[in-house]
Structures are given as structure tokens and as C-alpha cells.
Amino acid sequence: MVFTEIAKLLIDAGLVQGFFLAFLVLYKKKNNPANRILASLLIVFAVAIAHASFAGPHLRNVIRTPLEIKEPFVMLVAPLVWMYVNSIAGKGALSWGKGLLHFLPFVVFALFTLPFIIHRNDFNPDHIIFHNTTLFTFIAWCFIIVQFSFYLVRIQRLVRSHSQQVASELSNTEAVDLQWVKVFMLIFVLFYAFVLFTTFAQIHLTKLPYFNYAVGLLYTFSAFLIGYRGLFQRDVFFVPYQPPTPLSVKTSPTTKTTAAPPPVTNTPSEKELFARVQEYMDKHKPYLNTDLSLTELARQLKLNRNQLSHLINVNTNENFYTFVNTYRVEEVKQLLASPQHQHYTILTLAYEAGFSSKSSFNRIFKNITGSTPSEYQSSIHNK
């Protein structure tokens, strides 16, 4: 059939490309944990393609086990995707011990299957252990569903936490944005649907003639999408702010400890401090710096970072990201209304005001003003 021929051609290409893209990711990009995990995921895809399309069907005719899981490598996808997202979010690399724990389901399956491979000629096909193959396999797929659900929740929480941390520290988030993770989430959801369907098919559909082709095409599509997007995707890392650890002072037994001085009572109020922040923003325009961060602004104002964050949150009910970009939008509005800047494009003025990309500028401007930059410019000229 034409379908099977095309499917075989695509699957063969996916097998080769999986290994090839893994090689490129390792040797053409920075050698960091995230890229090593990405390369490992691509290798898993390639090995899974080989197993589903070539080795698997032949092995099942020779080796019989109580667990008829046609695609065991799916158990490696969820932990690898989570580990990749965890790494690019700046959470740090996992230790070998903790990393191996995430692959425990696959290891358990391999250890369970190994005796049936080594002693395949010693097992009686009529043994009672083979009478409940469907039930055992269904239970195993249910565990895989739990595994995917667990990692899906963890990835969503991780992305949400990362977005909150970035918005509280940076005024431009494009360099550390996790939009790239949406591609991984798409792949994750496809595999999740595959696991659900396979669990259903284990009970209601005993024969699936094109199952191996479907599995091979799923891995092929995933390898192409993740491989090429990952190869050309810039590295995304954000290390959350860590307050400096206070130095410990060693004291001898004879050293006398003095009581801490009483707190100063004539400190300015929060409103006075925030008024000082606003005055600084209006006068010195630090928001024109594209890379302005909460830590840097606090240093300029000679305030504690957490204190500045608190002042912004309490007095504006906004995070640092929205606070700074509101000033940038106002700067663009002033430039658009200025006769001296009429010959500049809107995008040029946006860059002048501290925005780092066209997409973020258009989105933020629309969110704050309710109109697009072009609509706002037209409304000024029509007055």
C-alpha cells in the first residue's frame, strides 16, 4: 500500500535523523546539562523507532513475556521532558542518584523482562503466568498513565513558577522565556494521548495492524520537531535571585556579645520611599536600559531588593515587569506625540524606550493602553 511505503520512508528518515540531530545538539551547541538531556531524548526517540519498526515485531515472535508492552521506551519520555524543562528553568542539574530515580519504572520493566529473554526456552507457554497477560499489561499501562500525569503536573507548576520569578526580577523576559517549552508540551500531550489510547486498546482492540507504523511516525514527528527546533533555539536560562549568605562571625568563649542596637524609628514611610522610586524613574529613566532588573534598580536606589519589590507590589499591585514596562509605554507615547520624532518608525521608538522585541512591545502596549501602537499613533494624528 502507498500509506505503508510512505510511512516506512518517513520512519527510516526519523531513525537516522534522531541520531544525527542528537550529535549536532551535543557538538554544535553549548555543552550544558539541558542540551545533553535534549540529545538523550533524541537518542531515545531513535532507539524507540528502531524497536517499534524493526526489532520489536521480530522479538515478540521469539520472546513471550506476561507484559505485552509493545513500546516500553515511552516510559523514558516523560522524565526526560521534565528534566529538560527543569534544567533550562535554571533549577540546576540533578544528581545521578535523583536522576536515576526518575527512570525507575523503565528499569523495573527491563529487570522484569530480562529473565524471560535469558531463559526464553525454559518457560512453558501454558504456564499460569501467561494466562493473565492482558490484565498485567493493562495494569502496567495504568501505571504509565499515572507517571505521565505526575510529570505533566510538575511541568506546569515549574513553568508557572518560572514565569512568576522572571516577572518579579526582569523587565524584559524574551531572553529567558519558556515559549520553547510549548513545543515540548505538544509532544508530551501527543504521547499522553498515545498512552491513553494504548491502555484502552489493550482491553477493547486486540488487533491493531498499523500500530507499529503509528508508533514509529509519532517518534519520527517528535524527533524532527524537537531536534530542529532545539538545534536552532537559543539557550534559555534564568537563575533565580539568591540573597547573599551572611558571613558568620566566629567568637571565642571570652568574647563579649553586645546587644543589637535598637531599630531606628525615623525611617521614611513606605509611601515616601515609593515616591522616591517614582521620582527616580521620572528623572533618570532607568527603564531605557533594556536589561534593567529588580536587583540593578534596587542598587541604583540604594534599597534592599526585597524592599523594592514590596514597595512596587503594595503601591501598584503590579510585579516589576509590568511596573517598568508601563514607564516604557508612556515613553513611547511621548515620543509618538513629539514633533521631533515623527520621522522615526514606531519600532525604532520602542527600542529607544527600552523594549527588546517587536512582539513583546506590541503585546504590552495593547495590554496597557487597550489599542495597538498603530491605532494609538493614528488617534494622535486625527486630533
Residue 248 pLDDT greater than 60, yes or no: no
Judge residue 232's burial from the number of C-beta atoms within 10 Å of its C-beta, 0-12 exposed, 13-18 middle, 19 or more buried: exposed
User: Which of 104-108, 124-128, 182-186, 191-195 reaches the highest mean pLDDT?
Assistant: 104-108
pLDDT band at 120 (very low <50, low <70, confident <90, very high): low
Q: Which three cell numbers stand for residue 18?
A: 534522531
Side-chain half-sphere CA neighbours of 83 within 13 A: 25
Residue 104: CB atoms within 10 A of its CB come to 12
In this structure, which amino acid lies at residue 196? L
Average pLDDT estimate for 159-174: 78
pLDDT of residue 255: 44
| Whether residue 223 has pLDDT greater than 70 | yes
Give me the DSSP letters along 191-206. HHHHHHHHHHHHHH--
> Which of 285, 377, 281 has the alpha carbon at shortest distance from 333?
377
Mean pLDDT, range 311-340, rounded to an integer: 92
Domain residue limits, the chain: 2-117+131-232, 270-381
Across 295-312, average pLDDT: 91
pLDDT confidence of residue 119? 67
All three cell numbers of 91: 533549577
Residue positions counted in the chain: 383
pLDDT confidence band for 97 (50 / 70 / 90): confident
Q: Which CATH architecture has domain 270-381?
A: Orthogonal Bundle (1.10)
Question: What is the model's pLDDT at position 113?
Answer: 78
Q: Which position has the higher pLDDT, 207 or 332?
A: 332
Amino acid type, 230: G
Are the C-beta atoms of 328 and 353 separated by less than 8 Å?
yes
pLDDT greater than 70 at residue 149: yes
pLDDT band at 332 (very low <50, low <70, confident <90, very high): very high
Higher per-residue confidence, 55 vs 282? 282
Q: Which amino acid is at 55?
A: A
CA distance 325 to 172: 8
Q: pLDDT-derived band of residue 263, with 50, 70 and 90 as boundaries?
A: very low
Amino acid at site 42: L
Higher pLDDT, 200 or 262: 200
Q: Which fold has domain 2-117+131-232?
A: Rhopdopsin 7-helix transmembrane proteins (1.20.1070)
- Higher-confidence position of 214 and 246: 214
Question: What is the number of other CB atoms lying within 10 angstroms of the CB of residue 98?
Answer: 10
Residues paired with residue 293 on neighbouring β-strands, in sequence order: 170
Three-point CA angle 89, 39, 167, nearest 5° = 15
Q: How far apart are CA 224 and CA 229, in angstroms?
A: 8
Buried b (16+ CB within 10 A) or exposed e, 6-17: ebeebbeebbeb
pLDDT at position 268 over 80:
no
**Phi and psi at residue 153, to the nearest 5°:** -65, -40
User: What value does the mean pLDDT take over residues 41-67?
Assistant: 73
pLDDT of res. 365: 93
Question: In this predicted model, which residue has the larger pLDDT, 56 or 222?
Answer: 222
Closest CA to 133 of 82, 80, 63, 84: 63
**Does position 79 have pLDDT exceeding 50, yes or no?**
yes
